[in-house]
Structure 1
Amino acid sequence: MKKTLVVALFALLALGANAADKKEGATSNKPVFTVVKQNPITSIKDQNRSGTCWDYSTLSYFEAEILKKTGKTYDLCESFVANKTYMDRAIQVVRLHGDCQFAQGGSAYDVLHTLETHGICPESAMPFPGSLYGDSLNNFNEFFSLLEPYVNSIARNKANKISGQWKQGLQGILDAYLGKCPETFTYEGKQYTPKSFAASLGLNWSDYVTITSYTHHPFYSQFAVEVQDNWRNPLSYNLPMDEMMRIIDNAVMNGYTVAWGGDVSEPGFTRKGLAYMVDGKKVESMKGSDMAHWLGLSAAKKKDIIDSLGVNVPEVVPTQQQRQDRFDNWELTDDHGMLIFGIAKDQNGKEYYMVKNSWGETGDYKGIWYMSKNFIAANTMDYMVNKNAIPKDIRKKMGL
């Protein structure tokens, strides 16, 4: 009995020591960030159950641009942009007889187009997101269950001729769920129209360009990135990957932010506020039974391993060819928009971009993500930036 008790005691001590070692290892691997450069941004918002990251991230970008240029803080209205954009998109789908996609997603250019064409209003000039249907935040489930079939039924109608009445019906649905866009409103004691308010913000809409990097089009040319939510077909400047990244660094270090669009479906993008471009082969070569079976693990288990490795996660160093291969084989997708506003280093000296999300104050950093430069280089679809933030030598090659 005594012998059994002694053995049991040693086993418990060993388990405790092992657990302590694991805890200590996880703690020591957790990133400790030092800010290199951090530019002012507006508050974190929550898109909730809506596919409007493009809207939230790009309005956040323009809010940061206004803040940089004028020092004024604005809360611009995402519902205004969504209302105008969904009508514009529906018109195109009908014109093409349904041979393009009607969906919740969009691009940074949709926001710029709205600002230029329709104007904008402050958040306070329209109903708060979700309030019209009894929710505290956006929930597009019911909204789009009506909107998509409505648009598709018009677009694929077998009639020889359709009337324009469908637009009034669609506008009714948009207004019922998003709120009616105001023709005039009062802001800080002054009356505006959406167009006069946009003009008062102090920005030059021609200052903004989009950047991408692929080899299926010539470098220093412009092309419309071939993704479904790029439905307006705006042109992006195509640059080598290293110059695409140089622009981001130069922008941040000179006080600008970047409206980023790219892929966050990779296992290295965690809900805790971190993103690494994980090298699966190197993970498999590391000690530990789970790591040895990396490719066969569930997404949740992979994220557990990434969390435990922390700053020691091995990363792929992206190449131009890898970017092209992943785009062509559908690995590199266009599924999220965010705002790059800073640069930070971890305790090992690795650099990350500080990125504002639109999922509320979630994760370990309350709505901010630290995304490694390798992750951004590998997963950027395109981004919008002020042309004045681009290094002069690159601007010259772009003809700007």
Structure 2
Amino acid sequence: MYIKRSLLSVMLLASVTLSAQDDLIKSLEGNKSIKATEGFQFTPVINLETTSVKNQGSSGTCWSYSGNSFLETEMIRMGKQPVDLAEIYTARCTYIEKAINYVRMHGNLGWGDGGELHDVVNIYKKYGALPQEVYDGLNYGTDINKFGEMQAALKGFLDGIVQNKNGKLTPNWLSAFTAALDSYLGEIPEEFEYQGKTYTPQTFAEEVVGVRADDYIEMVSYSDQPLYKDVFMAVPDNWSFDTAYNVAMNDITKTIDNALKNGYSVGWATDVSEKYFSWKNGIAYLPELDYTHMTSEERQTMFSGPKPELDVTAEMRQKAFDNYTTTDDHAMQIVGVVKDQNGKEYYIVKNSWGVSNDYNGYLYVTKEFVKYKTTALLVHKDAVPKNILKS
């Protein structure tokens, strides 16, 4: 079942790394001294229907959770009854593809939970989809994902394959790797029953989910690469070496605004490492004064209400990307717009850390923050303004 947060519920709520979730949240806990709900008054502008907030647990699978939430929301937009899609099915298939590249690259590739929004679309196209009720990935007695042991074991296995002393690989390594995934996450059904009908993952994606993978585009913004062309996506978790469509910085918010106005949600990959991103308070913005130059009182009141913001430039954005100030940490989903009491617009962002903050799993993010810290967008091609989608 999906939910539509009503005007009343939003007003009540707002009376305001791709690494493992628990480590990331722990690193952000310093930003919770003042409840933003007491200082922000938000009025809804656009509020798209979406599915319920999920919890990725202790796993770096935010890209799969946000990407599948994006697909579920697309089902709603298309007039379909949304399905609670199995995020760990997508992740599991990704690990197989990543393992192939890891071995092919002789181990010279990052390994772990991390991925990108394009992985969800790519895996959907090749492997199809499963409903959560058929495949939850919890095959070892836990209520939520706990991938630490599994990922350590998988990496050790792959490193052993790469470093083998036989002189060449046997044809068995991939089936052995897949068996390890089966043990931790569960075997994939060749066929399954859903609402009285039999499907394979591929026919389920085609007949029930119904979205077309080729309809979606991933976008980045690099000042040092040609604009309005596909360029290499230069982030560590791009294990598949995909390209993405490069746009100017201001095109990021133009695309998001156009998408939301026309009923399309947006997959959003971003940096969440800054002190002015507060998950507990459910607010992210770009303060005029750098955190290192703030007084103790200014730091304590960062989220006490609306504050003046810095006007970000393309040069600032590129510099932050180049010097590691902006890192590819996390993926979420943008599902709407609100205005604060001063008329400034913020995006409504759906997270996958459970109902664990002051806004019940949602976050309110300014456009300056989004322009500065976005690492990628995933959106339907029809949602991109035609003067931006030039190729």
Q: Is the 8 A contact 1:32 1:346 kept in 2?
A: yes
Which residue among 164, 170, 181 is the counterpart of 1:163?
Answer: 170
- Shift in Å, 1:56: 0.3
Q: 1:225 to 1:136 in 2, by over 3 A?
A: same
Counterparts of 2:35 and 2:79 in 1: how far apart (Å)? Answer: 44
Match of 1:383 in 2: 377
Q: Is the 8 A contact 2:36 2:303 kept in 1?
A: no
Match of 1:290 in 2: 296
Counterparts of 1:226 and 1:393 in 2: how far apart (Å)? Answer: 25
Counterpart amino acid of residue 314 in structure 2: Q
Q: 1:47 to 1:281 in 2, by over 3 A?
A: closer
Q: Is the 8 A contact 2:67 2:267 kept in 1?
A: yes
Secondary structure of the structure 2 residue equivalent to 1:259: strand
Deviations 1:174-199 (A, max 9, x none): 11121111110111111001111111
Match of 1:262 in 2: 270
- Shift in Å, 1:281: 4.1
Match of 1:68 in 2: 77
- Shift in Å, 1:364: 1.0
Match of 1:14 in 2: none
Secondary structure of the structure 2 residue equivalent to 1:311: coil
Which residue among 306, 309, 319 is the counterpart of 2:302?
Answer: 306
Match of 1:207 in 2: 215
Are positions 1:145 and 2:152 aligned together?
yes
Counterpart amino acid of residue 154 in structure 1: I
Counterparts of 2:272 and 2:192 in 1: how far apart (Å)? Answer: 38
Q: Is the 8 A contact 1:267 1:278 kept in 2?
A: no
Counterparts of 1:357 and 1:232 in 2: how far apart (Å)? Answer: 24
Which residue among 319, 339, 349 is the counterpart of 2:343?
Answer: 349
Counterpart amino acid of residue 94 in structure 2: T
Counterparts of 1:141 and 1:78 in 2: how far apart (Å)? Answer: 17
Q: Is the 8 A contact 2:259 2:384 kept in 1?
A: yes
Match of 1:373 in 2: 367
Equivalent positions of 1:11-160 (< 5 A) are: 30-126=39-135, 128-130=136-138, 132-160=139-167
Q: Is the 8 A contact 2:215 2:380 kept in 1?
A: yes
Counterparts of 2:338 and 2:218 in 1: how far apart (Å)? Answer: 24
Counterparts of 2:206 and 2:352 in 1: how far apart (Å)? Answer: 26
**Going by fraction, where is helix more abundant, 1 or 2?**
1
Tell which structure's C-alpha radius of gyration is larger.
1
- Listed as ranges, the gaps of 5+ residues in structure 1 are 1-24, 293-301
- Listed as ranges, the gaps of 5+ residues in structure 2 are 1-33
Counterpart amino acid of residue 375 in structure 2: M
Counterparts of 1:325 and 1:318 in 2: how far apart (Å)? Answer: 11
Match of 1:251 in 2: 259
Range 380-389 or range 146-155, more displaced: 146-155
- Shift in Å, 1:157: 3.0
Secondary structure of the structure 1 residue equivalent to 2:302: helix
Counterparts of 2:148 and 2:257 in 1: how far apart (Å)? Answer: 38
Match of 2:22 in 1: none
Counterparts of 1:157 and 1:86 in 2: how far apart (Å)? Answer: 21
Match of 2:242 in 1: 234
| TM-score, normalising length: structure 2 | 0.87
Secondary structure of the structure 1 residue equivalent to 2:94: helix
Q: Is the 8 A contact 2:268 2:374 kept in 1?
A: yes
Secondary structure of the structure 1 residue equivalent to 2:236: coil
Counterparts of 1:156 and 1:35 in 2: how far apart (Å)? Answer: 56
Counterparts of 1:62 and 1:26 in 2: how far apart (Å)? Answer: 32
Aligned positions, number: 356
Q: Is the 8 A contact 2:102 2:108 kept in 1?
A: yes
| TM-score, normalising length: structure 1 | 0.85
Deviations 1:165-216 (A, max 9, x none): 2212211221112111111011111100111111112222211001111111
